């Protein structure tokens, strides 16, 4: 053993000392997200996908910073022509390949996203046609007035048609695989960052695009390393060692609290979403509106918020005021927060036709989201005060999406987090409450209410902000009255970060975007130290 | 045919039968896990029509035996299908992730042998002394706590409080090493890049040690108990009576016969690590096959589940064959029994 001990020790010491070399003189931003990182913009739907999409690709419009509305990006301007939207493109944009961006690329990008039918392609369900009017003008034809259309363009990344066509693989139709194989591994956008390497479960490395049409500031990170699937303990240690810059939003509150306690900054993103407790309106006793109202009143909103509090100033949620998150069309004022009212709960229960003792409520929580178990326990305690027995069920996400396709297998109570993917209330509310879309993970209430349907339609067809606000205010009131959902809290994403990076879009409300993931536009970040 | 070749042939045939059984079993199990794989793959916003199209493409609407037939036909062409999780061919994913796991468990296995066996021998040689008691206590600790607990403890000790070792990935970002074998310890040496080799070594120390600790404890305890038993044998007493040096008695007459059960256990541990490495890989962000396999199961990625399990099963069988051969080499009785 003695013979091995010395060489082994020497090798280990050499190994550790050899690694302790000065880093290269480039600024490197290191962050993490949950796997997988889907690089193909036509399939992007998760948070990691959005981070990749918003940096490798550009869209025609961007959400305005610090205020509602949208501003042109690859587009120079747009105008509404009846049901159509006519977009004029900038003429100074080139792809990372060097190809010039034209209207043909926009048409191709739209056709591709529709053909793949994945990711967020459902946002363009109302588009009946698209036409390249000339090299720099595109006409989108819609089947009816649809005011959230401009918001939807935030999720239409423009792809380099020529590059994709040069790399088509075999597939089912005349366009082969529509570049699926190529775009799963390579970037083909105009974005501020170029993909250097990509492994969807391990890491994506990106570098500044020196030819970006808006230029990338010197202070922005030279290289970005987006890692997938780091454990909380690992992230905790890496940030403490100054080897990691921004955590994912999925760290448990206690880890975020601990990091904040050791000097890490907390970044915050409000993307127009909330924590929803969905009540199955087809299943007794929750098919009685008064029973639902009793549960809604008995829920301890304050305790739920305490569970996601990180520091005195930061929490993963803010008080809910109703069915629509604060800041969106139709939302109630921020000071009208929902509170627990047991007297009201008992009154509603008296009006309910069922005896709670006759039922055992199924309280489900998604196995991959541990915080939901705590909410389930909270509800079990809250509802037991009304005499309801409740059985907590741990349901893996894969099983949950299956269960909710049938009202009979849908649990009495389901917990989900939903965000408006474009920042517009239509993309948040329509998939949850319109009777035509019941039975998805977003709509396990199986709500079927003509007034709600009518208000949802009005919200998406009204063309002025005032009309939309009025429609969504009425919808908010109606949804509260129907009590099909417990609106737990408005969601805020919190990220722990080292002090080597400044992220104005995630630090100051005046620079914030209203769309999830957009705050991670690396070109707008500043590295403060090498 | 030589006895060893005969043993090898027997083991290969039984292994093939086991592998076919495993493929049938995992193929069926993967398809009865709750959740529609097409729905999961396409995401929550996919329409019913899109889900149905994908189900058709994956043959999910056909009877199970027909689906298995498609699978075997594809497998014969070396095609394990596309992962619904990473959207890449499963064979490509396995080829990418497998070397990382193999490298990790190889180093962990080496630690089990290099540390576990000598510790057990020392413990037996100095039985009932403070050294024996210390080794037994440490071994017990190693066996009683799962690998992921050790992973977090080692991370705290040697990365957080004493920042000696890195804790994430296989090599420092600054090193770019051309992939030849996929084993970074080998590739860095082939590239002649000692600095990168040092980085790869320092990255593997903690995860491999965390993974090996339980095996080290087990090997040490087993070796000790076998050696203690061997020390009571008459031939040891005779060797002592003849005045043979203690070191020679320990090494040649006590240690060698005691290695046989230890080697069998180490072999089994080595193979089991293929599947058990998941949590250690997760804690140390080690891009390995175990983590990939677990993620595939959670997302009901049918092709990846079957591919990963088959791959791990095949490796398990290979390791067992190697252990059998080593045991036969060490123990002449096994070798000679094959002559019958």
Token pair 């999830």 is found at A516
pLDDT confidence bin for B78, thresholds 50/70/90:
confident
DSSP A36: P
What average pLDDT does this structure show over A159-171?
95
Is B321 domain-assigned? no
CA–CA gap between residue A206 and residue A225 (Å, rounded): 7
- Tens of pLDDT along A387-402? 999 999 999 877 888 8
What average pLDDT does this structure show over A94-114?
97
pLDDT of residue B35: 74
Nearest CA in chain B to A43: B42
CA–CA gap between residue B163 and residue A34 (Å, rounded): 26
Q: Does residue B151 share a domain with residue B4?
A: no
Sorted by sequence, the CB contacts under 8 Å of residue A438 that are 6+ apart come out as: A407, A445, A446, A447, A448
Q: Does residue B181 share a domain with residue B32?
A: no
- Tens of pLDDT along B113-143? 999 999 999 998 888 899 999 999 999 998 8
Instruction: Please answer yes or no on whether A14 and B88 come within 8 Å at the CB atom.
Output: no
- Tens of pLDDT along A411-453? 999 999 998 989 899 999 999 999 998 988 899 999 999 999 9
pLDDT confidence bin for A1, thresholds 50/70/90:
very low
Interface-testing mutation among B82, B168, B192, B298, with chain A (most A C-beta atoms within 10 A): B168
pLDDT of residue A23: 44
Nearest to B315 by CA among B284, B278, B290: B290
pLDDT of residue A84: 95
With beta carbons under 8 A apart, name residues in chain B contacting A121: 45
What range does the domain containing B199 cover? 98-288
What is the count of structural domains for chain B? 2
- Tens of pLDDT along A18-37? 444 444 468 999 999 988 88
Q: How far is A350 from chain B (nearest CA, A)?
A: 38
What class has domain A273-491? alpha beta
CA–CA gap between residue A397 and residue A402 (Å, rounded): 9
CA distances from A123 to B20, B71, B180 (A): 46, 36, 44
Give the domain ranges of chain A. Answer: 25-57+191-265+498-505+517-530, 58-184, 273-491
CA–CA gap between residue A451 and residue A435 (Å, rounded): 10
CA distances from B217 to A162, A216, B208, B211, B214 (A): 60, 55, 14, 11, 5
pLDDT confidence bin for B48, thresholds 50/70/90:
confident
Nearest CA in chain A to B299: A398
DSSP string, A470-494: HHHHHHHHHHHHHT-EEEEEEE-EE
Token pair 């290969």 is found at B12
CA–CA gap between residue A418 and residue A422 (Å, rounded): 12
With beta carbons under 8 A apart, name residues in chain A contacting B284: 234
CATH architecture for segment(s) A25-57+191-265+498-505+517-530: 3-Layer(aba) Sandwich (3.40)
Q: Does residue B336 share a domain with residue B213?
A: no
Q: How far is A118 from chain B (nearest CA, A)?
A: 6
Which of A38, A243, A401 has its CB closest to that of B39?
Answer: A401
- Tens of pLDDT along A202-220? 999 999 999 999 999 999 9
pLDDT of residue A426: 94
Q: Does residue B209 share a domain with residue B275?
A: yes
CA atoms within 13 A on the CB side of B309: 23
Is B308 domain-assigned? yes
Interface-testing mutation among A183, A231, A409, A442, with chain B (most B C-beta atoms within 10 A): A231
Which neighbouring-strand residues pair with A131?
A139
How remote is the C-alpha of B170 from its chain's centroid? Answer: 17
Residue A277 — φ and ψ, nearest 5°? Answer: -110, 110
CA–CA gap between residue B36 and residue B46 (Å, rounded): 12
Q: How far is A478 from chain B (nearest CA, A)?
A: 25
Nearest to A203 by CA among A415, A9, A37: A37
**What stretches of A212-272 adopt beta strand conformation (E)?**
223-228, 265-269
Nearest to A277 by CA among A335, A343, A364: A364
What tokens appear for A440 in the block? 């998805």
Q: Which residue has the higher pLDDT, A182 or B252?
A: A182
Q: How far is B284 from chain A (nearest CA, A)?
A: 7
pLDDT confidence bin for B339, thresholds 50/70/90:
low
Instruction: Please answer yes or no on whether A234 and B285 come within 8 Å at the CB atom.
Output: yes
Q: How far is A225 from chain B (nearest CA, A)?
A: 9
In total, the C-beta contacts within 8 angstroms joining chain A to chain B are: 144
Which neighbouring-strand residues pair with A114?
none
Is B279 domain-assigned? yes
With beta carbons under 8 A apart, name residues in chain B contacting A440: 44
Nearest to A91 by CA among A78, A105, A104, A75: A75
Token pair 């829920």 is found at A299
Of chain B, the end-to-end C-alpha distance in Å amounts to 12
Asked if residue A494 has pLDDT above 70, the reply is yes
Nearest CA in chain A to B86: A200
With beta carbons under 8 A apart, name residues in chain A contacting B36: 398, 401-402
Q: Does residue B192 share a domain with residue B63?
A: no
Instruction: Please answer yes or no on whether B282 and A43 come within 8 Å at the CB atom.
Output: no
What tokens appear for A228 in the block? 């997938």
Instruction: Please answer yes or no on whether B168 and A21 come within 8 Å at the CB atom.
Output: no
Instruction: Please answer yes or no on whether B160 and A402 come within 8 Å at the CB atom.
Output: no
Q: How far is B30 from chain A (nearest CA, A)?
A: 13
What class has domain A58-184? alpha beta
What tokens appear for B33 in the block? 């896990």
Percent of chain A with pLDDT over 70: 95
What average pLDDT does this structure show over A218-246?
92
CA–CA gap between residue B142 and residue A456 (Å, rounded): 61
- Tens of pLDDT along B260-287? 888 888 888 887 888 778 889 989 999 9
CA–CA gap between residue B90 and residue B306 (Å, rounded): 9
Q: Does residue B114 share a domain with residue B259?
A: yes
Q: Does residue B202 share a domain with residue B71?
A: no
pLDDT of residue B338: 62
How remote is the C-alpha of A229 from its chain's centroid? Answer: 17
DSSP A134: E
Mean pLDDT, chain A, rounded, equals 91
How remote is the C-alpha of B59 from its chain's centroid? Answer: 33
Q: Does residue B130 share a domain with residue B37?
A: no
Q: Does residue B263 share a domain with residue B127?
A: yes
Instruction: Please answer yes or no on whether A402 and B292 come within 8 Å at the CB atom.
Output: no
With beta carbons under 8 A apart, name residues in chain A contacting B172: 19
DSSP string, A295-347: HHHHS-HHHHHHHTB-SSS-BSEEE--SSS-TTSTTPPPTT------HHHHHH
The helix, strand and coil proportions of chain A, stated in percent and rounded to the nearest 5, come to 35, 20, 40
CA–CA gap between residue A109 and residue A162 (Å, rounded): 11
HEC profile for A45-71? CCHHHHHHHHHHCCECEEECCCCCCEE
Pair B90, B96: CB distance under 8 Å? no
Q: How far is A349 from chain B (nearest CA, A)?
A: 35
Sorted by sequence, the CB contacts under 8 Å of residue B76 that are 6+ apart come out as: none
Pure H helices in B232-255: 234-241, 246-248
Tell me the residue length of chain A: 530
Asked if residue A13 has pLDDT above 60, the reply is no
Pair B231, B128: CB distance under 8 Å? no
Percent of chain A with pLDDT over 90: 77
pLDDT confidence bin for B335, thresholds 50/70/90:
low
What average pLDDT does this structure show over A162-177?
90
Map residue A137 onto helix, strand or coil: strand
CB neighbourhood size of A190 (10 A): 30
What tokens appear for A390 in the block? 């409740």
pLDDT of residue A474: 97
What tokens appear for B246 in the block? 């203690």
Pair A156, A54: CB distance under 8 Å? no
Asked if residue A485 has pLDDT above 70, the reply is yes
Q: Does residue B340 share a domain with residue B242?
A: no
Which of A24, A201, A240 has its CB closest to that of B295?
Answer: A201
Residue A268 — φ and ψ, nearest 5°? Answer: -140, 140
CA–CA gap between residue B222 and residue B258 (Å, rounded): 8
CB neighbourhood size of B290 (10 A): 26
Tell me the residue length of chain B: 340
Which of A11, A24, A40 has its CB closest to that of B174?
Answer: A24
What is the dihedral angle through the alpha carbons of A401, A403, A408, A414, rounded to the nearest 10 degrees? Answer: -70
Least confident among A126-135, A282-291, A415-424, B82-91: B82-91
Instruction: Please answer yes or no on whether B86 and A398 come within 8 Å at the CB atom.
Output: no
CA–CA gap between residue B301 and residue B297 (Å, rounded): 6
Residue A499 — φ and ψ, nearest 5°? Answer: -90, 15
DSSP B173: T
Is B325 domain-assigned? no
Pure H helices in B83-162: 90-111, 117-125, 130-144, 147-155
Instruction: Please answer yes or no on whether B86 and A36 come within 8 Å at the CB atom.
Output: yes
Is B45 domain-assigned? yes
Which of B96, B198, B285 has its CB closest to that of A14?
Answer: B198
CA–CA gap between residue B32 and residue A112 (Å, rounded): 33
Token pair 């092709």 is found at B303
Instruction: Please answer yes or no on whether B34 and A399 come within 8 Å at the CB atom.
Output: yes
Q: Does residue B107 share a domain with residue B13?
A: no
The helix, strand and coil proportions of chain B, stated in percent and rounded to the nearest 5, come to 75, 0, 25
Token pair 């493409």 is found at B57
Sorted by sequence, the CB contacts under 8 Å of residue B107 that are 6+ apart come out as: B185, B204, B208, B212
Instruction: Please answer yes or no on whether B198 and A15 come within 8 Å at the CB atom.
Output: yes
Sorted by sequence, the CB contacts under 8 Å of residue B132 that are 6+ apart come out as: B122, B123, B124, B126, B224
What average pLDDT does this structure show over A503-521?
93
Pure H helices in B145-255: 147-155, 184-190, 194-231, 234-241, 246-248
Q: Does residue B113 share a domain with residue B255?
A: yes
Which neighbouring-strand residues pair with A223?
A28, A207
Instruction: Give the CATH number, domain containing residue B157.
Output: 1.10.3720.10
Least confident among A68-77, A343-352, A378-387, B36-45: B36-45
CA atoms within 13 A on the CB side of A150: 22
ipTM score: 0.79
pLDDT of residue A405: 86
Is B322 domain-assigned? no
Asked if residue B144 has pLDDT above 60, the reply is yes
Instruction: Check residue A459 and give left, alpha or beta (phi > 0: left; psi -120 to 50: alpha).
Output: alpha
Q: How far is A13 from chain B (nearest CA, A)?
A: 9
Nearest CA in chain A to B286: A202
CA–CA gap between residue A130 and residue A84 (Å, rounded): 10
């Amino acid at each position: 053993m003695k013979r091995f001990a010395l060489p082994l020790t020497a090798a280990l010491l050499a190994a550790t000392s050899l690694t302790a070399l000065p880093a290269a003189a480039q600024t490197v931003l290191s962050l993490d997200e949950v796997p997988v990182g889907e690089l193909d913009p036509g399939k992007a739907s998760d948070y990691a996908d959005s981070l990749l999409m918003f940096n490798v690709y550009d869209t025609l419009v961007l959400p305005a910073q610090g205020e509602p509305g949208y501003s042109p990006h690859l587009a120079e301007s747009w105008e509404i022509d009846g049901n159509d939207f006519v977009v004029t493109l900038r003429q100074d944009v080139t792809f990372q390949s060097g190809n010039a961006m034209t209207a043909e690329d926009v048409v191709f990008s739209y056709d591709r996203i529709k053909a793949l039918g994945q990711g967020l392609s459902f946002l363009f369900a109302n588009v009946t046609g698209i036409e390249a009017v000339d090299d720099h003008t595109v006409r989108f034809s819609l089947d009816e007035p649809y005011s959230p259309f401009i918001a939807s363009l935030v999720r239409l990344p423009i792809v380099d048609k020529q590059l994709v066509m040069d790399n088509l693989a075999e597939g089912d139709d005349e366009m082969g695989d529509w570049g699926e194989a190529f775009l799963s591994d390579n970037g083909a956008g105009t974005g501020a960052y170029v993909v250097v390497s990509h492994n969807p479960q391990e890491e994506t490395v990106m570098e500044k695009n020196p030819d970006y049409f808006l230029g990338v500031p010197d202070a922005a990170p030279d290289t970005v390393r987006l890692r997938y699937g780091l454990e909380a303990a690992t992230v905790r240690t890496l940030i403490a060692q100054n080897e990691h810059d921004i955590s994912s939003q999925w760290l448990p509150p206690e880890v975020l609290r601990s990091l904040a306690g050791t000097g890490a900054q907390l970044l915050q993103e409000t993307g127009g979403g909330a924590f929803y407790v969905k009540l199955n309106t087809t299943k007794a006793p929750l098919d009685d509106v008064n029973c639902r109202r009793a549960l809604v009143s008995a829920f301890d909103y304050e305790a739920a918020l305490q569970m996601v509090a990180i520091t005195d100033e930061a929490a993963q949620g803010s008080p809910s005021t109703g069915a629509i998150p604060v800041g969106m069309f139709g939302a109630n004022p921020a000071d009208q927060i929902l509170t627990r009212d047991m007297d009201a709960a008992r009154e509603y229960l008296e009006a309910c036709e069922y005896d709670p003792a006759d039922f055992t409520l199924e309280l489900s929580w998604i196995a991959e989201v541990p915080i939901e178990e705590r909410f389930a326990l909270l509800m079990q305690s809250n509802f037991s005060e009304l005499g309801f027995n409740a059985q907590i069920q741990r349901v893996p996400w894969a099983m949950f999406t299956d269960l909710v396709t049938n009202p009979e297998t849908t649990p009495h109570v389901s917990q989900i987090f939903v965000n408006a993917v474009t920042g517009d209330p239509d993309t948040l509310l329509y998939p949850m409450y319109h009777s035509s879309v019941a039975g998805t993970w977003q709509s396990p209430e199986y709500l079927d209410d003509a007034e709600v349907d009518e208000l949802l339609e009005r919200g998406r067809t009204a063309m002025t902000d005032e009309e939309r606000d009025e429609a969504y205010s009425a919808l908010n009131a109606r949804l509260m009255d129907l009590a099909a959902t417990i609106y737990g809290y408005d969601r805020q994403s919190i990220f722990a970060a080292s002090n080597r990076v400044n992220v104005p879009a995630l630090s100051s409300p005046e620079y914030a975007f209203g769309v999830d993931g957009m705050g991670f536009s690396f070109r707008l970040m500043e590295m403060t130290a090498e | 045919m030589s006895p060893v070749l005969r043993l090898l042939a027997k083991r290969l045939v039984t292994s093939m039968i086991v592998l076919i059984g495993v493929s049938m079993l995992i193929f069926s199990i993967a398809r009865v896990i709750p959740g529609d794989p097409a729905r999961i793959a396409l995401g929550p916003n996919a329409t019913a029509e899109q889900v149905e199209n994908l189900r058709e493409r994956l043959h999910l609407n056909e009877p199970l035996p027909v689906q298995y037939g498609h699978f075997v036909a594809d497998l014969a062409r070396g095609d394990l299908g596309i992962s619904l999780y990473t959207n890449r061919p499963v064979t490509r994913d396995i080829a990418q992730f497998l070397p990382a796991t193999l490298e990790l468990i190889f180093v962990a296995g080496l630690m089990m042998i290099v540390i576990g066996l000598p510790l057990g021998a020392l413990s037996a040689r100095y039985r009932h002394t403070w050294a024996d008691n210390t080794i037994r206590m440490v071994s017990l600790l190693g066996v009683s706590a799962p690998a992921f607990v050790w992973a977090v403890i080692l991370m705290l000790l040697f990365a957080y409080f004493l920042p000696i070792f890195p804790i994430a990935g296989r090599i420092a970002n600054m090193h770019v090493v051309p992939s030849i074998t996929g084993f970074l310890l080998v590739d860095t040496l082939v590239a002649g890049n000692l600095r990168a080799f040092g980085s790869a070594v320092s990255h593997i120390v903690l995860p491999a040690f965390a993974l090996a600790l339980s095996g080290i404890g087990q090997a040490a305890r087993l070796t000790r108990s076998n050696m203690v038993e061997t020390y009571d044998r008459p031939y040891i007493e005779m060797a002592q009576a003849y005045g043979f040096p203690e070191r020679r008695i320990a090494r040649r007459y006590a240690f060698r016969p005691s290695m046989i059960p230890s080697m069998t256990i180490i072999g089994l541990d080595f193979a089991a690590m293929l599947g058990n490495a998941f949590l250690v890989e997760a804690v140390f962000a080690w891009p390995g096959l175990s983590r990939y396999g677990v993620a595939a199961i959670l997302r009901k990625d049918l092709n990846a589940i079957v591919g990963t399990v088959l791959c791990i099963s095949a490796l398990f069988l290979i390791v067992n064959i190697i252990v059998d051969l080593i045991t036969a080499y060490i123990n002449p009785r096994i070798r000679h029994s094959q002559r019958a």
